[in-house]
């Protein structure tokens, strides 16, 4: 059987990974995607690493049962906690995400870089290594509770939250802001309006999509013809699927 026709599994702790999914759909329109939002166990960002790994294993088992040809961890926290383990255990490609600190560092002009992410992401060894390579001028900004506001689609409260966060910093000294959680990508337009135009905003959705295409190409797993499809699944309530559909329409990452 030609494995290239098999679906690609994508998952996140909730609906945040929809932003990355949209980028993958744009770049790989012929592929079949199964997106799993583990909303019953969200958020991952405040859990212990062992708890996150347990959640990831459960989701991965569900997706493997659908004969996926590749797995995308569309969550910075879950990537840091479980990507290494999954790559050792699975025979299919595993693509993860990381905060877009490298591109932010390339845009830096001797000012600060604000890295917005969950507390767990900011304290993981993977992120520490990223900071060692590209972290000059970078400041960790833990955003406890912001992911939940996106899950609730509470855009007014999210804006108030971000206004308080940015008020803590001298924006005249800031060169870039990193959206280090897939959920925050839904706030990108809002954040753009809140910041001076000269401040760059980086996030990892497009980079993850390009990496997925490269890996599938090397493995001869790209689907070359036909029309792609998207299937949405959740461990939570049925209304979570409708929320995912709304956010899929909202998430339009820039090329």
Q: Which residues are catalytic?
A: 75, 181
Q: How far is CA 168 from its chain centroid?
A: 25
What's the CATH architecture for 3-97+205-250? 3-Layer(aba) Sandwich (3.40)
The answer for residues whose C-beta is within 8 angstroms of residue 175's C-beta and 6 or more apart is: 104, 107, 108, 109, 110, 111, 112, 113, 137, 198, 199, 200
Q: How confident is the model at residue 255 (pLDDT cuts 50, 70, 90)?
A: very low
Residue 218 structure tokens: 């090397």
Q: Each residue of 54-109: pLDDT tens digit?
A: 999 999 999 999 999 999 999 999 999 999 999 999 999 999 999 999 999 999 99
What pLDDT sits at residue 254?
47
Distance (Å) of CA 44 to CA 50, 58, 161, 230: 11, 14, 20, 24
Edge-to-edge order in the sheet of strand 112-117: 138-142, 112-117, 174-179, 200-202
Edge-to-edge order in the sheet of strand 32-37: 94-95, 70-73, 8-12, 32-37, 229-234
Q: How many CB atoms lie within 10 A of CB 85?
A: 14
Residue 120 structure tokens: 């767990």
What end-to-end distance do the CA atoms of the chain give, in Å?
Answer: 34
**Averaged pLDDT for residues 140-162:** 96
Q: How confident is the model at residue 252 (pLDDT cuts 50, 70, 90)?
A: low
Mean pLDDT (the chain, rounded) = 94
**Residue 200: pLDDT above 80?**
yes
Higher pLDDT, 177 or 4: 177
Q: DSSP letter at 184?
A: G
Q: Do domains 3-97+205-250 and 101-202 have the same CATH topology?
A: yes
Q: How far is CA 194 from its chain centroid?
A: 22
**Averaged pLDDT for residues 235-243:** 93
Q: Each residue of 22-59: pLDDT tens digit?
A: 999 999 999 999 999 999 998 998 899 999 999 999 99
Q: How far is CA 33 from its chain centroid?
A: 16
- Beta strand 112-117 with 70-73: parallel, antiparallel or unpaired? unpaired
Q: How confident is the model at residue 122 (pLDDT cuts 50, 70, 90)?
A: very high
- Nearest CA-CA partner of 92 in 210, 18, 1, 7: 7
**Residue 199: pLDDT above 50?**
yes
Q: How confident is the model at residue 121 (pLDDT cuts 50, 70, 90)?
A: very high
- Give the start-to-end residue ranges of the domains of the chain: 3-97+205-250, 101-202
Class of domain 101-202: alpha beta
């Amino acid at each position: 059987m030609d494995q290239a026709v098999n679906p690609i599994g994508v998952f996140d702790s909730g609906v945040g990974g929809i932003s990355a999914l949209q980028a993958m759909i744009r770049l790989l329109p012929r592929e079949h995607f199964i997106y799993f939002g583990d909303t019953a166990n969200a958020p991952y960002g405040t859990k212990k690493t062992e708890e996150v790994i347990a959640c990831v294993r459960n989701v991965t088992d569900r997706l493997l049962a659908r004969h996926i040809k590749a797995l995308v961890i569309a969550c910075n926290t879950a990537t840091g906690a479980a990507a290494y383990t999954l790559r050792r255990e699975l025979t299919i490609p595993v693509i993860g995400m990381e905060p877009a600190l490298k591109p932010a560092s390339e845009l830096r002009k001797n000012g600060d870089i604000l890295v917005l992410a969950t507390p767990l992401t900011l304290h993981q060894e993977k992120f520490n290594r990223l900071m060692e390579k590209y972290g000059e001028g970078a400041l960790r900004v833990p955003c406890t509770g912001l992911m939940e506001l996106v899950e609730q689609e509470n855009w007014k409260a999210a804006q108030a939250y971000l206004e308080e966060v940015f008020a803590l910093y001298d924006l005249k000294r800031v060169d870039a802001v990193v959206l280090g959680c897939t959920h925050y990508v839904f706030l990108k337009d809002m954040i753009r309006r809140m910041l001076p135009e000269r401040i760059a905003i980086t996030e990892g959705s497009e980079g993850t999509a390009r990496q997925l295409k490269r890996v599938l190409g090397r493995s001869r797993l790209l689907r070359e013809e036909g029309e792609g499809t998207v299937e949405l699944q959740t461990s939570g309530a049925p209304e979570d699927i409708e929320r995912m559909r709304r956010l899929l329409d909202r998430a339009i990452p820039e090329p």
